[in-house]
Amino acid sequence: MDLSEFTITVLYIVGISAEGMTGALAAGRHKMDLFGVIFIALVTAIGGGSIRDVVLGHYPLTWVKHPEYVLLICFCALVATRIPKVVTRLEHLFLTLDAIGLVVFSILGAQVAMKLDYGFIIAVSAAVITGVFGGILRDILCMRIPLVFQKEIYAGVAIIAGAIYYISAIWLEIHILICTLVTLFIGVLMRLLAIKFQWSLPIFSYNEKG
Amino acid sequence: MDLSEFTITVLYIVGISAEGMTGALAAGRHKMDLFGVIFIALVTAIGGGSIRDVVLGHYPLTWVKHPEYVLLICFCALVATRIPKVVTRLEHLFLTLDAIGLVVFSILGAQVAMKLDYGFIIAVSAAVITGVFGGILRDILCMRIPLVFQKEIYAGVAIIAGAIYYISAIWLEIHILICTLVTLFIGVLMRLLAIKFQWSLPIFSYNEKG
Amino acid sequence: MDLSEFTITVLYIVGISAEGMTGALAAGRHKMDLFGVIFIALVTAIGGGSIRDVVLGHYPLTWVKHPEYVLLICFCALVATRIPKVVTRLEHLFLTLDAIGLVVFSILGAQVAMKLDYGFIIAVSAAVITGVFGGILRDILCMRIPLVFQKEIYAGVAIIAGAIYYISAIWLEIHILICTLVTLFIGVLMRLLAIKFQWSLPIFSYNEKG
């Protein structure tokens, strides 16, 4: 495992832990039992990567190869149920960890597509699927319109992160560690600025009667 | 590419374009941002085929092999957000294009199952999955009970199209171009008549208290 | 086919029939047409196993290999729509059949994971996915928060059944027929006791304003 792989793995573990904790809180808002909480934490944290792997036929799935990640997320979900107020009070920390997770997921998605020799569009698609599908599945299970369709450019960050990573690694042939760090820096910065300044995409609201 | 393949490909492109545009309008009714609109357009247009391929283990998925379809659907979704009233006014045109798309999707589903040497039931199942799952996913993402479960025989057209295609191609060994045209003609006609005369399946309404 | 395989197959058929009938009634509560009823019956009965197979890359899926199961479930769904009151009056019978189905699905899930040489955590995960995902998909399609996240330890039974089966078969190397019978006995008993005494997991209810 080289340095860029090590960095990505550490940040991936941070990312799934944070996603698991925030997923657990989302479940708590819908009065679910402990199984529901853990299930939604797992879906939030590893659902996006699972869908990417199934769509690209990339087996075994990450968590099937590394079942220890399943245990880690269960543990984080249980911790979150014990200290929900701490998690909420640390909102800024969790938003930052979530931003890191989003960009790391996007990089991993692009890497899988590149490993399978797919081109730019599929690499960016894989980045988006990995980055946002966990949150979409979480929201479907909690019966609400997925937040990523309505809030500050979340998916946009995944698209840009996937594009930067692909372009720098494949077209510019830059060293993979530098691609990773540059993508992380730009992606996380963009996401944090989007939250701070409430950047959002135009909303398309349409009602045929109106 | 022979004539029947060419016909199907052209109609498939027409079908995903129309599905992408109507998917985008469905998203607009729920006040989604541009990413949400594009995501739902994509899911509506290529979700059914993706689920069929995943279920049958038929890799790579159509859009992964042809990423240009992804771009086409994104483009159609964006166009629909600029001219929603035109799309609504052309309702009859879009219903016809949607009917063509439904039958073409069903034929393609049956073809994939036949290519993998599956029999009648799986061919019809693959036709239905390809034809209706895009709309089911769209409705789940928009938080409403899938329309295909409640409206004029939509899935019924997919079942009959899949059955006609399989029977004529495999059992009657008719030339594939004729199978395609006959299936298209009967399927589209049936769907348009179903809309015109509001044919529907019996509704099963059950309430244990009643 | 040896005795343990025969037992599991017979109980699997009983299980999918019962799940198909109760799935059909759930659809009836939401005023769906016959296609919707059949679709939801199918998803309830074979959705969990399908997701397990897709996640583990275990092809072909059970129902693709045995299309006769698809026909059986369609038939059971149609029967249920003719005699909904009988099904409701036989609630205790159906709860018992559902309990048997849950444990059989869990055993089959663990078996698939074991056949693919996965360890304890993935075997238990496969048991849970097989046991509960059909109900989760049914509830998503009917637009309600999945019951398995909120009611008497349903998923807990799948976890324990998967664990007992794996431990007895792999670690204790007990004859597979005995593993099957012991798992069935403990699992079904646990589920029926959970219903009778309304055992449930702690609910995690969280509201950041409260």
Task: Collect all residues with Cβ–Cβ distance below 8 Å to B47 and sequence separation of at least 6.
Answer: B133, B134, B136, B137, B138
- A143 interfacial to chain C (CB closer than 8 Å): yes
Residues B144-162 have a mean pLDDT of 84
Q: How confident is the model at residue A208 (pLDDT cuts 50, 70, 90)?
A: low
Q: What is the dihedral of CA A49, A53, A59, A62, to 10 degrees?
A: -10
Please tell me the distance from the alpha carbon of residue B11 to that of residue B17, in angstroms, as a whole number: 10
CA distance A91 to A82: 16
B156 interfacial to chain C (CB closer than 8 Å): yes
Interface ipTM: 0.89
CA distance A172 to chain C (A): 35
In tens, the pLDDT along B24-51 reads: 988 888 878 888 899 999 999 999 999 9
A153 vs B: CB within 8 A: yes
Chain A: give the shortest CA distance to residue B64, in Å.
Answer: 6
The span from the CA of C157 to the CA of C179, in Å, is: 16
In tens, the pLDDT along A133-184 reads 998 999 888 888 787 777 768 889 999 999 999 999 999 999 999 999 999 9
**Contact yes or no for C125 and A54 at CB 8 A:** no
Interface mutation vs chain A, best among C149, C153, C160, C205, most A CBs within 10 Å:
C149
Contact list in A for residue B27 (CB cut-off 8 A) is 149, 204
Residues near C187 by beta carbon (within 8 Å), at least 6 away in sequence: C99, C102, C103, C106, C157, C160, C161, C164
Q: Which residues contact B202 (CB under 8 A, 6 or more apart)?
A: C33, C34
The residue extents of the domains of chain B are 3-197
User: For chain A, which chains pass the contact test of at least 3 CB pairs under 8 Å?
Assistant: B, C
Coil vs helix vs strand at A200: coil
Q: How many CB pairs under 8 A join A and B?
A: 83
pLDDT of residue A210: 45
pLDDT, tens digit, for every residue of B87-97? 788 888 888 88
Single-letter amino acid, residue A134: G
C positions 104-133 inside 8 Å of A (CB): 118-119, 121-122, 125
**What value does the mean pLDDT take over residues B171-183?**
93
pLDDT digits (tens, 9 = 90+) for A31-59: 788 888 999 999 999 999 999 999 999 99
Mean pLDDT of A115-133: 96
pLDDT over 50 at B156, yes or no: yes
pTM for the predicted model, two decimal places: 0.92
Nearest alpha-carbon partner for C168 in C114, C129, C117: C114
Mutate to test the interface with C, among B106, B151, B206 (most CBs of C within 10 A): B206
What is the distance between the alpha carbons of residues C44 and C63, in angstroms, rounded to a whole number? 13
Q: Is B201 on the interface with A (CB under 8 A)?
A: no
Which residues in chain A have Cβ-Cβ distances shorter than 8 Å to C204? 24, 27-28, 31-34, 37, 81
Name the nearest CA neighbour of C41 among C50, C28, C53, C60.
C28
Is pLDDT above 80 for A118?
Answer: yes
**pLDDT for C166:** 97
Inspect the interface and report whether the beta carbons of B155 and C88 lie closer than 8 Å: no
Nearest to C33 among B121, B143, B201 (CB): B201
Q: Indicate the range of A200-204, B157-161, B177-181, C137-141 predicted with least confidence.
A: A200-204
Do A122 and B40 lie within an 8 Å CB cutoff?
A: no
Peptide bond into C202 cis (omega under 30): no
**CB-nearest partner of A33 from C122, C202, C206:** C202
pLDDT band of B208, cuts 50, 70, 90: low
Q: Do B141 and A140 touch (CB under 8 A)?
A: yes
pLDDT at residue C98, rounded to an integer = 87
User: Which residue has better confidence, B78 or C1?
Assistant: B78
Judging contacts by C-beta atoms under 8 Å, the chain B residues touching residue C142 are: 145
Q: Which tokens belong to B83?
A: 């001219």
CA angle A56, A61, A62 (to 5 degrees): 120
pLDDT the model gives residue B210: 46
The per-residue pLDDT for B128 is 96
DSSP letters for B31-85: TEEHHHHHHHHHHHHHHHHHHHHHHHT--S-HHHH-HHHHHHHHHHHHHHHH-HH
Question: CB–CB of C28 and B206 under 8 A?
Answer: yes
Contact across the interface for C71 and B121, Cβ inside 8 Å: yes
pLDDT digits (tens, 9 = 90+) for C29-84: 887 888 889 999 999 999 999 999 999 999 999 999 999 999 999 999 999 989 88
